Chains A and B, each alone.
Chain A
Amino acid sequence: MERIGITLTVNGAAYERSVEPRRLLSDFLRDDLRLTGTHVGCEHGVCGACTVLLDGDSVRSCLTFAVQCDGASVRTVEGLGEIGALDPLQESFRKHHALQCGFCTPGMLMTAMDLLAKYPLSTDDEIREGLSGNLCRCTGYVNIVNAIREAAGARGTDKA
């Protein structure tokens, strides 16, 4: 079976691995690196649960082959805050009860990180449209929007 060597950094740590070309980045992260915070929900790019940051941009790890990430930098939910030292976005999710079963949450967080970096998010409609590529079945999105609205506001304060 053909394998290809790749090197990449994930959450700041360098990895060198040999992978089958067809190995999806989602499976590479979960099974090869044991970073199981990235979840797989549909494997056709609709649900967004597997969203990670690739060189700073949010991407579907289920629509990306690990070999395409040779030389890249990947950030997963494990690269945000930690238990006891949550990232402000994670804190906002907790405060607003923006998660229930938690399965879509890593993808929501990584998408929100990218939205916060790229868009003003000055209206709820903008937040909702920004989140529309991430399906959640538990929360009805109300509290996720609340959490991101607060994170967007705090971001403005930081810059000021």
Chain B
Amino acid sequence: MKPPAFSYFAPETVEEATARLAEYGDDAKLIAGGQSLVPMMNFRLVSPAALIDIRKIAPPDAIEESGGHVRIGALTRHRALETSPLIAHRIPVLAAAMGHVAHLAIRNRGTIGGSLCHADPAAELPAIAVLLDARIHAARRGGVRTVDAGAFFEGALWTALEDDEIVTHIDFPLLPPGAGWGFHEFARRHGDFGLAGAAVTVSGSAGRASEVRIALLGVGETPVRAHAAEDLLTGSGFEPDEIAAAAAAVRDGLDPTDDLHASADYRRHLAGVLAERALADAWGRAANGAS
């Protein structure tokens, strides 16, 4: 289990990096923290001709609030997200999700850009990005563009990013004031990828839910929003039977596959359970106007 040979570049600017990407096309891989890429290289599942190390192109751990969102630099490490007071305060559901991301040694190295680009459907950060409609900013030679998280994840380990594009930063909208949130994940072993997970935000007023978001991880090719369940709950009082009906809608809307860790039926069941718990937590945390 030794990685295959590659050429190594450590550009100092985005322009240099994108030039290198343009040169190698799909024979190049960007490396940030490497926590997903290097295992795949050690197993020789991927053999890039060139590895472009982007650690020098931006300051790590850039997290700042500006105009209704939190902008996070792509090289920001998981550990910085985990400990950021800004995120804990403004996007607490993201902070909560970080507690489920692997282990300290992985969080010390792994980056948000790397996690989003790796696009593991069981990973937490892609699910939170989809939950909150994060906007992912990418650069390529001669241009930049922004991709909505909902369109960014195209399949398991597959994104809308072109071969010569590089993610520079991500904008996460702030949770509305008073919004509640919930995050539940179930893994067989602490720190492992979840068999399923559910992230929820909800705003309410006068005891009625005004905006409900539910995203699920580990139950499909990409993280998914449970729109049918969201619609069921919008305008509801989040009574237990309403939450249960929404959880049933979550289950009905999923089509996971069997794998060696769990059957499709169990995953579907689990997603419903976790969604129900996350919904209840979210409503409990929401300043919903109910007495």
Residues in B neighbouring A134, C-beta threshold 8 A: 103
What 0/1 readout, one digit per residue, does chain B (69-111) give for beta carbons within 8 Å of chain A? Answer: 0000000000100000000000000000000001111101100
Q: Cβ of A21 < 8 Å from any Cβ of B? A: yes
Task: For the complex, give the distance between the alpha carbons of A54 and B55 in Å.
Answer: 14
| Contacts known (A21-B51, A22-B6, A45-B39); A64 close to B109, Cβ less than 8 A | yes
- Is the beta-carbon distance between A45 and B104 smaller than 8 angstroms? no
Residues in B neighbouring A130, C-beta threshold 8 A: 104
Q: Cβ of B5 < 8 Å from any Cβ of A? A: yes
Q: Cβ of B191 < 8 Å from any Cβ of A? A: yes
| Contacts known (A22-B3, A65-B34, A132-B190); A44 close to B42, Cβ less than 8 A | yes
Q: Please, which residue of chain B has its CB at the minimum distance from the CB of A67?
A: B8
The minimal Cβ–Cβ distance linking A46 to chain B, given in whole angstroms, is 9
- Is the beta-carbon distance between B109 and A22 smaller than 8 angstroms? no
Q: Cβ of B35 < 8 Å from any Cβ of A? A: yes
Q: Cβ of A105 < 8 Å from any Cβ of B? A: no
Residues in A neighbouring B6, C-beta threshold 8 A: 21-22
- Is the beta-carbon distance between A59 and B109 smaller than 8 angstroms? yes
Q: Cβ of A43 < 8 Å from any Cβ of B? A: yes
Among B7, B8, B51, B103, find the residue whose CB has the most chain A CB atoms closer than 10 A.
B103
Which one of A75-83, A85-93, A110-118 contacts B? A110-118
Q: Cβ of A62 < 8 Å from any Cβ of B? A: yes
What 0/1 readout, one digit per residue, does chain B (162-185) give for beta carbons within 8 Å of chain A? Answer: 000000000000000000000000
Q: Cβ of B240 < 8 Å from any Cβ of A? A: no
Q: Cβ of A158 < 8 Å from any Cβ of B? A: no
Q: Cβ of A150 < 8 Å from any Cβ of B? A: no
Residues in A neighbouring B106, C-beta threshold 8 A: 45, 60, 133
Q: Cβ of B53 < 8 Å from any Cβ of A? A: yes
Q: Cβ of B43 < 8 Å from any Cβ of A? A: yes
The minimal Cβ–Cβ distance linking A24 to chain B, given in whole angstroms, is 7
Task: For the complex, give the distance between the alpha carbons of A67 and B102 in Å.
Answer: 24
Task: For the complex, give the distance between the alpha carbons of A130 and B82 in Å.
Answer: 14
B-to-A contact residues, CB < 8 Å? 1-8, 10, 31, 34-35, 38-39, 41-43, 51, 53, 55, 79, 102-106, 108-109, 189-191
Q: A45-B39, A63-B42, A133-B191 are in contact. List 5 more A-B contacts (CB 8 A).
A: A4-B8, A24-B42, A64-B38, A65-B38, A128-B190
Ranked nearest first, the 10 interchain pairs of A and B with the lowest CB-CB distance are A133-B103, A21-B8, A57-B108, A132-B190, A44-B39, A63-B38, A58-B105, A43-B1, A22-B3, A43-B42
